Amino acid sequence: MAVLSNYACAFVCMCSDLCARLVGSICVRRGYHLWLAAIVSLTPLLHGLSNPRSIFSNNNNFFNVKFVHCSCGWTFLLLSGFVLLVTLLPTGRPFLSLLHLTRLAVSTAVCQGVPYLFQLLEDITGSCHQPLPPGTLLLHRLEDRYSCLAEGHKWEGYHISPKTFTLTLCSLSMAEELAVFVRYLRRGFPADTALHLVFLLNASLLGLYNLLLICTALYAPNYTQSVVGTATGTLCWYLTYRGWYRTYFSPGPPGYGMFPRKVISPRNKIE
């Protein structure tokens, strides 16, 4: 049993090391948002090859209910454990860990709050329609969503896909946070099997998000809704991770305070 346990630990560490190199590579860090944009933009072209009886064609399938609709919560839960370990183990500074967790809380608030703005936009721009066999009939007397749906009619407005938004934002946020691990390992900071396992769980969730984004884009009822949702998620990521988190009055970027630069004195240069 001890030998099997050692083999399992070695396997977990090997897989996490490979994932750390992939996520922390320059290509992924600089072009991951382009990859997600390509998924949402090009995958709908394969809609003719998709299976209409697939589990992903059903909007209430297991993965949508358990992962897509709860992607913000899953991301915060797993990432907070990883961020807490990689900041607290090498530095021993709880305040620094709390600062990094604040960044995750802000990202989660954005992830949860923006879809409500999508719904508000749909309420403002929408109108009530009564489905009829030849088409739809506009009902002017029902001017809000709740009364329209209560009468059994359909509310139609400008809809932005919250699924592609949350999957895009969560994927980009996870990629930013997990990219620190390869530098963490190169510094020789403490990394036991538990930390490797936590990182591997996060990397697996990131891979699942990519798969779910492909399926969501493939079976999306409207192409523009998916593209705008992904674009909005990318914009929120850019404004936070590539903008605000790099300023002085912010929680700081991933890895902040963990990797102090070595200062080389003039004497060492001469030697």
187, pLDDT greater than 70:
yes
In 3D space, the residue among 223, 175, 188, 193 whose CA is nearest the CA of residue 26 turns out to be 175
- Which residues on neighbouring strands pair with residue 138, listed in sequence order? 129
CB 107 within 8 A of CB 100: no
What secondary structure, in 3-state letters, does 152-201 show?
CCEEECCCCCHHHHHHHHHHHHHHHHHCHHHHHHHCCCCCCHHHHHHHHH
Query: Over the stretch 44-85, which tens digit does the pLDDT of each residue have?
Result: 888 777 777 777 777 778 878 788 888 999 999 999 999 999
CB 157 within 8 A of CB 124: yes
Helix (H) or strand (E) holding 131: strand 127-131
pTM above 0.85, yes or no: yes
Query: Over the stretch 126-150, which tens digit does the pLDDT of each residue have?
Result: 777 776 655 555 555 556 677 777 7
